A and B are shown apart, each in its own frame.
Chain A
Amino acid sequence: MRILGMMMVFIACSGIGITYSYIYKKRVEQLCEWKKGIVLLKNEINYSLTPLPEAFEIIGRKLEGVMNRFFDEIAALLKTNNNKTMSSLDEKVIKKLLIDSCLNEKDRKTIISFIKNLGLLDKESQMNNLELHINYIQQEIDAAKKDEEKNNKLFKTLGILSGIFIIVIFI
């Protein structure tokens, strides 16, 4: 019984540590996926002049995971209610779509403000906006990669060691 308890504590602590390190890894992946989506959107607007709801739908098909669903849902939201504009989309609804992503609060706010500013002026200004956002996301990806390198091993080790620590204390 005692050994079982120890095992459970150890597994739980290691699990928490591994989950935390996994979040950092996933954040980099999701930011890369978001950047890919934005580059595709830029191409769609620049070369095909696709309207935003269709562009989002097309891009959604090309992406994976959370971003795939995010683009699809935004496209669906735009298509309902007689082609809403981007700025009229509800912030809370967009936030809800990102709820199971590993992005942090700052990333979410950036994505929401970007989404809301889409389709406001002419093509040229949209291109500039997209370019600016891509540069910003690239910076965020670089920072997230550094964070991942630093924290990935740390959280794994911390989880396992704290598990052993608790076991030793209660032994």
Chain B
Amino acid sequence: MDISIIFKIAAVGILISVLNQVLDRAGREEQAMLTTLAGLVVVLFWVIHYISDLFTEVQQLFQL
């Protein structure tokens, strides 16, 4: 597993939280929620195949 993905996720997390704050302060709660969702989708997109790997590993380990 590439370790840099953790830093990338951390960076996205920080950016999204700042964006969320800025938009919230400006009274744009809807856009704030949309940005949070977008961040979540991006991060999920990055980690989805690691999660799928994990499930396959578990399946093989317990021979399910």
Contacts and interface: CB of A to CB of B under 8 A. Distances in A.
For the complex, would chain A's binding face be called helix, strand, loop or mixed by DSSP majority? helix
Interface residues on B, range: 10 to 19
A168 interface: yes
Interface stretch (A41-49, A60-68, A120-128, A153-161): A153-161
A161 B26 contact: no
A171 B8 contact: yes
A161 B8 contact: no
A161 B42 CA distance: 16
Nearest to B42: A169
A158 B35 CA distance: 11
Contacts of A158: 19, 22-23
Contacts of A165: 12, 15-16, 19
Nearest to B15: A165
A39 B29 CA distance: 40
A151 interface: yes
B47 to A, nearest CB: 14
Nearest to A169: B42
A153 B21 CA distance: 13
Interface string B16-36: 101100110011100000000
A151 B28 CA distance: 10
What are the nearest 7 A-B pairs in CB distance?
A154-B26, A168-B11, A157-B22, A165-B15, A161-B19, A150-B26, A168-B12
Given A151-B26, A153-B22, A168-B15, 18 more contacts: A150-B26, A150-B27, A153-B26, A154-B22, A154-B23, A154-B28, A157-B18, A157-B22, A161-B18, A161-B19, A161-B22, A162-B19, A165-B12, A165-B15, A165-B16, A168-B8, A169-B12, A169-B42
Interface of A: 150-151, 153-154, 157-158, 161-162, 164-165, 168-169, 171
Interface of B: 8, 11-12, 15-16, 18-19, 22-23, 26-28, 42
